[in-house]
């Protein structure tokens, strides 16, 4: 017998491009405690990502840095950022080899956590990234303190490759090689 009966199997997630109209939604999610906690170790923070201006961020999207909104049955439940860390203009990752993708992910509404949606989002985005034959690996930079996220990424095949400071943020960089992804069962 399967662990999940068809009625409790997770609904299908769809990733669509983010538009300027998503700015309000993303700003609301920035007030959720689980989103704040993934963006900073500051215990006094009351907004995620230092209060980013989402209209500006979304207007700046390009081929080398863009957002995808995850929807389930037409409801937006999460977001991903996908960049080419070698070409992306802010050079957030510093000196880094070409032909990688860097990703970030968060679920917005608390009731959408732990339902398998994050795994579906990552699977769709990783498949799309590796559809480009030049892409060799995917990197991510969760806070070193975000051990739930580390477990989530490890299950997808990411391996920790080293601790690194990004500005004030103490992160544990993880990497997923193309060969690892293609060899998964
Ligand atoms: C990290 C994150 C994106 C994972 O997404 P998610 O949808 O919650 O993750 P999933 O449901 O796919 O998998 C995580 C858990 O759900 C369980 N799960 C997977 N499929 C499931 C299903 N169909 N039904 C119930 N549980 C399921 C997994 O076993 C896992 O449990 P564990 O934590 O006890 O090991 C999400 O937790 C999140 O947004 N966290 C806050 C932001 C964050 O930390 N982002 C990462 C920044 S680097």
pLDDT in tens, 33-58: 999 999 999 999 999 999 999 999 99
Domain assignment present for residue 30? The answer is: yes
Q: How many CB atoms lie within 10 A of CB 98?
A: 11
Q: Whose CA is nearest to atom 14 of ligand 1?
A: 114
pLDDT 10s digits, 158-178: 999 999 999 999 999 999 999
What secondary structure letter does DSSP report for 148? Answer: H
* Residue at token pair 């409790």: 8
Number of compact structural domains in the chain: 1
Instruction: State the pLDDT confidence band at 11, using cuts at 50, 70 and 90.
Output: confident
Query: For residue 135, what are the contacts with CB-CB under 8 A and spacing of at least 6?
Result: 99, 100, 101, 129, 178
User: Which atom from ligand 1 is nearest to the alpha carbon of 146?
Assistant: 44
Domain assignment present for residue 1? The answer is: no
Domain assignment present for residue 28? The answer is: yes
Domain assignment present for residue 155? The answer is: yes
3-state secondary structure at position 161: strand
Query: For residue 70, what are the contacts with CB-CB under 8 A and spacing of at least 6?
Result: 13, 14, 15, 76, 77, 78, 79, 80, 107, 117, 120, 121
Instruction: State the pLDDT confidence band at 8, using cuts at 50, 70 and 90.
Output: low
Dist. CA 130 → ligand 1 center (Å) = 22
Mutate to test the pocket of ligand 1, among 6, 9, 113, 158 (most ligand atoms within 8 A of CB): 113
Q: Are strands 137-140 and 169-177 parallel, antiparallel or unpaired?
A: antiparallel
Q: Are strands 159-166 and 65-72 parallel, antiparallel or unpaired?
A: unpaired
User: Which atom from ligand 1 is nearest to the alpha carbon of 120?
Assistant: 12
Q: What pLDDT score does 167 carry?
A: 92
Q: Whose CA is nearest to atom 21 of ligand 1?
A: 116
pLDDT at 142 over 90: yes
pLDDT 10s digits, 89-99: 999 999 999 99
Query: For residue 41, what are the contacts with CB-CB under 8 A and spacing of at least 6?
Result: 143, 145, 169, 170
Residue 144 CA to its chain's centroid (Å): 15
User: What average pLDDT does the structure give for the chain?
Assistant: 95
Domain containing residue 136: CATH number: 3.40.630.30
Under a CB-based contact definition with an 8 Å cutoff, are residues 67 and 18 in contact? Answer: yes
Mutate to test the pocket of ligand 1, among 36, 115, 166 (most ligand atoms within 8 A of CB): 115
Domain assignment present for residue 3? The answer is: no
Domain range for 119: 12-182
Domain assignment present for residue 108? The answer is: yes
Instruction: State the pLDDT confidence band at 4, using cuts at 50, 70 and 90.
Output: low
E strand or H helix at 70, and its extent?
strand 65-72
Domain assignment present for residue 99? The answer is: yes
3-state secondary structure at position 100: strand
Instruction: State the pLDDT confidence band at 1, using cuts at 50, 70 and 90.
Output: very low
Domain assignment present for residue 7? The answer is: no
């Amino acid at each position: 017998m399967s662990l999940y009966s068809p009625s409790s199997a997770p609904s299908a997630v769809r990733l669509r491009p983010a538009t300027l109209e998503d700015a309000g939604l993303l700003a609301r999610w920035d007030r959720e405690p689980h989103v704040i906690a993934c963006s900073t170790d500051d215990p006094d923070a009351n907004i995620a990502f230092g209060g980013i201006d989402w209209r500006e961020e979304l207007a700046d999207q390009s081929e080398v840095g863009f957002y995808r909104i995850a929807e389930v049955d037409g409801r937006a439940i999460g977001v991903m950022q996908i960049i080419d860390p070698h070409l992306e203009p802010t050079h957030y990752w510093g000196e880094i080899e070409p032909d990688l993708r860097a990703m970030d992910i968060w679920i917005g509404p608390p009731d959408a956590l732990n339902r398998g949606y994050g795994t579906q989002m990552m699977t769709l985005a990783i498949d799309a990234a590796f559809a480009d034959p030049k892409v060799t690996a995917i990197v991510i930079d969760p806070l070193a303190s975000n051990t739930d996220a580390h477990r989530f990424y490890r299950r997808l095949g990411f391996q920790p490759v080293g601790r690194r400071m990004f500005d004030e943020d103490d992160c544990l960089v993880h990497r997923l090689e193309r060969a690892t992804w293609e060899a998964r069962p």
